[in-house]
Amino acid sequence: MPHATEPQTVFRVRSPGDLIDLIPYLLGFHPRSSLVLIGLHEGRVAATARADLADIAASQVQLSETIQLVIRSKADQLIAAIYDDRARIGPNDSTTTTHRRHHSRAGPAGG
């Protein structure tokens, strides 16, 4: 007897902010102090990877290997998002920690 498969959920992403909002759903938790990489293939999420910022700083994570995993998913775009609780935005870095700075940049993967 064939196994029933669950229908795939489709999320429409219309802006970089929408993609940032989607990251916790892709990972299954809200990242903190993390680098998140998302590989897109023909506009669809092909791979998602996360690494702790502390592990990256201590050279315990090889980012080149992580990026290669995303590229092997046939990704044609790579998006990176940094979650850092220490980041401050606003004049004189005096805003509260409830505001977070999110940066994402889309570009060709492997290029």
Specify the pLDDT at position 34.
94
What single-letter amino acid sits at 20? I
What is the per-residue pLDDT across 62-98, written as a single tens digit (0 to 9) for each?
Answer: 888 888 888 899 999 999 999 998 876 666 544 333 3
Number of H helices, E strands in the chain: 3, 4
pTM of the prediction? 0.69
Closest CA to 101 of 44, 92, 110, 85: 85
Cβ distance 66 to 51 under 8 Å? yes
CB atoms within 10 A of CB 8: 5
**Rounded Cα distance, 85 and 60, in Å:** 20
